[in-house]
Homo-oligomer: A and B are copies of this chain.
């Protein structure tokens, strides 16, 4: 990356990071949207703020008659910065230390977004006017589960039409190998709650009054077996078997479970999984997870109370072709069948459907080649991230192949204090985007 573009990257990221667009705290959203509009207009795009039921979507386009278009999906909201005392520099002042740029959103997702904009500027410097169309969809609610994205895409499917897409995240693995991710899991989050009496009671009533903590523990315990397999009838019915190609990529994923095990202090993974089986579970298995379980007294010493209420928070991570609302209905039926009709099931957030792109789509093959060229080492193809996001409408409604590549690394501390991006990743990742678009558009790199 030429020095003046690195300087432009640093300056634009500094402007964006300085705006605390924390969705969960309801601040900085409109200021950030405005700053982004200015940058996209400066890039020569026709830019609009599209209203939704929540934060506006910033939409920008520059079409080229008769030529295909690339769509960039990003988001301009960030996670809260707390705990503030763990930051080594102000989270909303971009700060350079040891070759990295620190600040909330420096990676997720302002750093990724700026990399896309700088890549386009770089391409224009290499080739003059671009011979392909460009579309940006930048939402402001990704960190709260993108509750309005599905409807937005469905309502504007003509306007958003494109041929290929680049997703909001990506980067390298722990060994600096570039990652090309092809899918995201769906997610459904539910609260289970239970009340067994009008008030907490003295535990001397234990022989006669139902204990909410114990009963909800029983309900939760019956949802999974001890290796993590979900016991809800019908849960796996719609799981689409992986293709041979997908299976091949999963098996070829370089081993890193041993490094992760040591980092998180785990001696044995579920099912004793290592290597390819560990990757298969992470990429291809749907799961049920308990985010939290709370009932009764939890302080020091003892309080012999019989809790009348209990709450458990769960998330399902789903794979194609599981349907989140159908899964929640199956959970409901399972609880009824097991005698837990007193357990109340509430959907916590708008669910997201799973989606996966064919790793052998030409667009993704271009991406793999561009990554290998930029990083000097073959790309690792990840069939699906273990995480979730609003990929489904882009893949299924807009029918886009989507490449997830970017400028992050496992130590970026995304969502945590001291979030940052390494300049070396900014250089390589942005260059990979440039080369991907050149390969796709049949542009020869300049001498």
How far is it, in angstroms, between the C-alpha of A208 and the C-alpha of B51 when the chains are bound? 40
| Surface stretch bound by B, among A82-90, A149-157, A310-318 | A310-318
- Interchain CB contact under 8 A, A265 and B199: yes
Q: Does A266 contact B (CB under 8 A)?
A: yes
How far is it, in angstroms, between the C-alpha of A339 and the C-alpha of B222 when the chains are bound? 16
Residues of B within 8 A of A187 (CB): 304
Give residues of chain A (358-389) contacting chain B, Cβ–Cβ below 8 Å.
385-388
How far is it, in angstroms, between the C-alpha of A317 and the C-alpha of B209 when the chains are bound? 14
For residue A317, which residue of chain B has the nearest CB? B206
| Surface stretch bound by B, among A95-103, A283-291, A390-398 | A283-291
Tell me which of B189, B266, B304 contacts A209 (CB under 8 A). Answer: B266
| Surface stretch bound by B, among A133-141, A212-220, A401-409, A418-426 | A212-220
Q: Does A253 contact B (CB under 8 A)?
A: no
Q: Does A197 contact B (CB under 8 A)?
A: yes
Give residues of chain A (181-224) contacting chain B, Cβ–Cβ below 8 Å.
185, 187, 189, 196-199, 201-211, 213-218, 220-224
Interface-central residue, A145, A204, A270, by most chain B CB under 10 Å: A204
Give residues of chain A (252-307) contacting chain B, Cβ–Cβ below 8 Å.
257, 264-266, 269-270, 273, 278, 281-282, 285, 287-298, 301-307
Residues of B within 8 A of A25 (CB): none
- Interchain CB contact under 8 A, B206 and A293: no
Residues of B within 8 A of A385 (CB): 204
For residue A298, which residue of chain B has the nearest CB? B294
Question: For chain A, which range describes its interface: under 10, 10 to 19, 20 to 34, or 35 or more residues?
Answer: 35 or more
- Interchain CB contact under 8 A, B313 and A297: yes
- Interchain CB contact under 8 A, A208 and B302: no
- Interchain CB contact under 8 A, A290 and B295: yes
- Interchain CB contact under 8 A, B203 and A291: yes
Q: Does A226 contact B (CB under 8 A)?
A: yes
How far is it, in angstroms, between the C-alpha of A297 and the C-alpha of B216 when the chains are bound? 16
Q: Does A125 contact B (CB under 8 A)?
A: no
How far is it, in angstroms, between the C-alpha of A39 and the C-alpha of B346 when the chains are bound? 60
Q: Does A411 contact B (CB under 8 A)?
A: no
Q: Does A348 contact B (CB under 8 A)?
A: yes
- Interchain CB contact under 8 A, A302 and B349: yes
Q: Which 10 A-B pairs have the closest CB atoms?
A: A198-B265, A292-B296, A204-B386, A206-B289, A294-B298, A207-B281, A221-B221, A292-B297, A206-B287, A218-B221
